[in-house]
Amino acid sequence: MSTNASSVTDEPPAPVTWRIVVGYALMVLITVSLIAAVLAWGSKLSPAAAGVAKAVPHAGAGHQLDALYHVLLCLVLILLLGRWLGKLFIHFGQPRVIGEMVAGIMLGPSLLGHFWPEATAFILPPHAQPSLKIIAQIGVVLYMFLVGLELNAGLLKSRAHATIVISHASILMPFLLGAILALWLYPQVGTADVSFRSFALFMGVAMSITAFPVLARILTDRRMENTELGVVALSCAAIDDVTAWCLLAFVVGVANAEMGSAVQTVVYAIAYIAIMFIVVRPLAIRYLGHDSVAPQRRMTVWVLVALLFSALTAEWIGIHAIFGAFLLGAIIPHDCDVAEDFRHKLEDIVKILLLPAFFAYTGMRTEIGLVSGWQAWMFCAVIILVATLGKFGGTLAAARFTGLNWRLSAALGILMNTRGLMELIVLNIGLELGVITPTLFAMMVIMALVTTIATTPVLHFLTTFRPQAAEADSAG
């Protein structure tokens, strides 16, 4: 029997549809009820700290050259270091993005700033950080637009019942565990100016993220994108992304406003999403689809205008510009000429130049030294454990319930535990809003790195070790 990934693709017949529907309804009802109970219970907790949970710029005013000089210097360094570390991580079977994430952290206070603080202060002094932040945010907006363009609605339709159940289980379980974990973390690392509700909801979302682009890259590098495992994983990750970003939009609305204003934000967000799908999507299909009679080259400027307007609308509503960019990309036909043209023109600029700016900005805000002492590292270990158990356990249980075998279910659970860049985007939003402290931010960044790094070796183990056992597994 073949020893490659296809050895895990055999599966028993899927259960009847009514069982999946009933199971899905019970899963959602029970999980939402438990989350509501956790929020009600946690509202009585008091945090240990009373200060504002904002990132603090690091020491040193830096050499007072023009901000552009420091930003350009920072970009040069992050590009070179990220490229070198990216090749190093690829050599060990890891995606390049891990090396780029590590490069950003190395240039910040965690490494360079710890041993040579003057160098960090010169590379990016406080007066230059806002300029890098704007570049990083523009890069993330364009990146999320490209992520939306890569979504294949056909994948979502082809396996609707199973993929919806699996992907939502992979969100609900870590979301619930994240909210429960907040009961323990909030009194330890929370702040008085952040309500437990906002803190717990954000922890739930942060635990629920799957990095669709990194997952797709891992599958492509291993030539598994067209296998049963690859198709199911990509389908689940696509639904996971859409759902998780909608949840994040809700949480940002809650964190940005009082409860009454949060409800208004959610209503606006729902109306905005409805307009995008009911009004804008048919127009996108008409003018950008394969049957369009409009010259595709003339549509570029209008797509860019729509991208900026969608991002502006989402930012005005209070659900962050990146959601607007992602949503517009998702409603544009992923295989149309305009989508292909944008991917071809933007991908290199965004991924090679603009995203490293985001890694550098994230690295400057990440100080691993804040995680000091056995108690802090215990918190970090528990966060990693809960994040992994939630994603892996929720995916595994739902995959088995929908009829996949143990081996395929376990491999799917490992893939859905990939977080990478998407997690960093969410964490930066939480830090920017003041929902999490710099210390918790550092712990969550470590969690994102560990769970993403673990994906490739564990997946390799599951898809190559003891291939003879796959035949037995395929029987159930």
Structure confidence by residue, pLDDT tens digits, 374-411: 888 999 999 999 999 999 999 999 888 888 888 888 98
CA–CA dist 463, 407 (Å, integer): 8
Mean pLDDT value across residues 33-49: 83
Instruction: Please indicate, yes or no, whether the overall pTM of this predicted structure exceeds 0.75.
Output: yes
CA–CA dist 138, 126 (Å, integer): 20
Domain range annotation of the chain: 60-466
> What architecture does CATH give domain 60-466?
Up-down Bundle (1.20)
What is the chain's percent helix, strand, coil content, to nearest 5? Answer: 80, 0, 20
CA–CA dist 128, 383 (Å, integer): 33
Instruction: Please state, for a pLDDT cut of 70, what percent of the chain lies above it.
Output: 84
**Which residue has tokens 């999946």?**
20
Taking a C-beta distance cutoff of 8 angstroms, is the pair 136, 104 a contact? no
Query: How many Cβ atoms are within 10 Å of 367's Cβ, its own excluded?
Result: 23
DSSP letters of 63-114? ----HHHHHHHHHHHHHHHHHHHHHHHHHTT--HHHHHHHHHHHHTTTTHHH
Going by pLDDT thresholds of 50, 70 and 90, the confidence category of residue 3 is: very low
**pLDDT at residue number 223:** 75
**pLDDT at residue number 278:** 92
